[in-house]
Structure formats: C-alpha cells, structure tokens
Amino acid sequence: MSRGGTPPDLTRHEPADPRSPQGDRGSRILAPLRAEGARGVAIAVLSTLVFFTLATVAVLNSSGWPEIKQAFFDGEIFREAFPKILEKFTRNVVIFLSAEGLVLVLALLLAVLRNLTGPVFFPLRLIATAYTDLFRAVPTILVIALLGFGAPALRLKGVPNSDMFWAIVALTLVYSAYVAEVYRAGIESVHPSQVASARALGLSRRKTLRFVVLPQAVRRVIPPLLNDFIGLQKDSALVAFLGFTEGLRQAQIIQFENFDFTPYVALALVYVVITIPQARFVDWLVARDRRRRQAAIGV
C-alpha cells in the first residue's frame, strides 16, 4: 500500500517513541542513499541533474514538441481555464464530501449486518452480502447513468431530478459496497479473546460490538478506508457523463471552444494536488501503525 514510502519530513516531527525500533522511518527512495553516505548523495544529485537536463533538452528539441505544447500546455488557455474549472470543481467537492459522509454510515451498517450471527438474521446477512456483491460487480459509470438518467425519467412525485443528488446517491451506493468490505475485514481482525473478555463481564452482544469491537475495528481500517475515498473523489468526475457541469464537464466545454486539451491538464493538476497529500497521509498512517505494532510486540 505504501508504494511511495514515507516522506522523512513527516515522520521526523513525530515524538520519538523509546520502544520503537529505529530504521524503516524514511522513504524507500532515499534510504539506500543514506546508507552510502555523502559521496553517494553527491553522485545521486549529479546524476539526477544530468539525467533531467538531458531529458528536458531532448523533449524540447524533438520535432513534435511545439504541437504538443500548444495542444496540452498552452499557458494562455491554462490561465483562462483554470479558475473556471476550479469554480466548477467545487461541485465535485460537494459531491464527494457528501458521498463520503453517507458511505461511512451505510457501509458500517452493511458490515454490522453481515456480521450478525444466528439463524434469525439470515435474511439480513443475505441482503448485505447480495448488496456488496452487486455494487462491486456493476461499473460505477453504469450506476451513475442508471440513476442519473433513469430516476428523473420516472417523473415520480417527491423524487428529486437534480443530477448532483443522483450523483451523490450513485457514488454512495457503489462505494458503500467497497467500504463495507473494509469495515468487515476490520471487525474480523479484532481477536475473539476481546469479545470473550467483554462477554465475560456480562456485556450483551450489542454492547460488546459497540464498546469493544467497532472502536478497534474502525481504528485499524482508517488507512484502507482513506484509499477508497481517494478513489471516490476521482470517480466524482464520472458525473460529467450526465452532462452535469462539474470540473471535467467544464474542462470539456473549454476544450470544445478552443480546440485545445490544456483544460484537461489543468483539471488533472487539481486532482493531483488534492490526492497526493491524502495518499501520503495514508502512507504515514500505515507506517505509524506498523511502528506501534512492532513496539507493542517488543513489550
């Protein structure tokens, strides 16, 4: 999961835990350098400079570069498009933040239903299982189309026909299926002896779940849950398919006006800027959990 490793500047500010083993703290890219010392660092800096200078010169002098620059990296179009895209991107933000809030609740409900024991609850377990299977099987864009085009077409009373509403519903339905599985893995990772201890005190099943199992499960699943949320945020662009003017649709409109793809690059930049810090934060959480687990084992 932590493919990129952990940026050292984040971990360094952590208060040092005397029990945590040193090492494995910095990034996987930089760690081998540290082992080689000053000479290694000097060689790395030099070779990096030479490599990227040569690469830049090669790209800028290649025969197709002016056309590429004009089509994708047109500064003037960028300056014009970026504020407009950013303005419409706030709609994506509303969509994904709303969906994330709803997913947290619906997914937890599904996970708890799936973990109910006892024959009486079989239908509930069945529904929860069928739900997660179904919504992980159907492509997200199809669910968005089905609800976004389909539901308003029914012209039912009281059914909203706002694209944004159905986009939120569709993303919530799809991502709840994924996050429910994440929660479920977390619930199952809590050791049975924890349940035995709580039940031995005379706590009911429900109170055991609420006070002992879920708090531990939720803590453990925060990193994979945030990863799913990054996916959800990116998938908010699929709403453009409904013709709803969010970030991607706005970029497309400007592209049509100028016959130029720079607006897409501008939007991509927005996604990169909001997504990478979150991915790094997840990496940091994973690394911190690993350290804590090692510390706990060391006791």
Partner 1 sequence: MSVNGAALVIEGLHKSFGRLEVLKGIDLSVAEHEVVCLIGASGSGKSTMLRCVNLLEPIDRGRIFVEGDEITARGVDVNRIRQRIGIVFQAFNLFPHMSVMRNVTLGPMEALGMPREDAEDRGLGLLERFGLADKRDDYPDRLSGGQQQRVAIVRALAMQPDLMLLDEVTSALDPELVAEVLNVIRELAEGGMTMVIATHEMGFARDIARRILFLDEGVILEEGPPEQIFSSPREPRTQRFLQSIIEAGRM
Of the two residues 211 and 256, which places its CB atom closer to partner 1 in the complex?
211
Write out the binding residues for partner 1, residues 51-80 only, by CB under 8 A: none
Residues 6+ apart with CB under 8 A from 285: 222, 223, 226
Amino acid identity for residue 179 in this structure? V
Please answer whether residues 89 and 248 qualify as being in contact, where contact means their C-beta atoms are separated by less than 8 angstroms.
no
Q: What angle do CA 122, 126, 127 make, to 5 degrees?
A: 120
Contact in structure between 234 and 289 (CB atoms under 8 Å): no
Helices 122-137 and 163-189 sit at what angle, rounded to 10 degrees?
A: 120
Which has the closest alpha carbon to 259: 65, 71, 67?
A: 71
Stretch that binds partner 1, among 28-36, 47-55, 95-103, 288-296 (CB under 8 A): 288-296
Closest separation in Å from C-beta 21 to partner 1: 15
Q: Which residue has the tokens 């969509």?
A: 95
Minimal distance, residue 211 CB to partner 1, in Å: 6
* Site pattern 166..205 for partner 1 (x: CB under 8 A): ---------------------------xx-xxxxxxxxx-
Would you mind telling me the total number of residues written for the chain in this entry?
299
Query: Smallest gap, in angstroms, from Cβ of residue 189 to partner 1?
Result: 13
Q: Write the interaction track for partner 1 spanning residues 137-166; mark x where CB under 8 A is met and - where it is not.
A: ------------------------------
Residue 156: exposed, middle, or buried by beta-carbon count in 10 A (0-12, 13-18, 19+)? exposed
Min CB(258)–partner 1 separation in Å: 55
CB of 260 to partner 1, least distance (A): 54
CB atoms within 10 A of CB 82: 20
Type of residue numbered 73: F
- Binding-residue pattern over the window 211 to 250 for partner 1, x denoting contact by CB under 8 A: xx--xx--x-------------------------------
Interface with partner 1 (CB under 8 A), residue from 207, 269, 272, 276: 207
Q: State in angstroms the smallest separation of the CB of 263 from partner 1.
A: 47
Report if residue 14 touches partner 1, rule: CB under 8 A: no
Report the C-alpha gap between 58 and 39 in whole angstroms.
Answer: 29
Cβ proximity to partner 1: between 47 and 204 the closer is 204
Q: Please, which residue, 151 or 185, has the CB nearer to partner 1? A: 185
Judging by beta carbons within 10 Å of its beta carbon (0-12, 13-18, 19+), is residue 248 exposed, middle or buried? buried
Instruction: Indicate the residue type of 124.
Output: L
Counting residues that bind partner 1 (by CB under 8 A) gives: 21
Taking the complex as a whole, the smallest distance from the CB of residue 202 to partner 1 amounts, in Å, to 4
Query: Based on CB atoms, which residue is closest to partner 1, 25 or 199?
Result: 199
What is the contact surface with partner 1 in residues (CB under 8 A)?
193-194, 196-204, 207, 211-212, 215-216, 219, 292, 295-296, 299
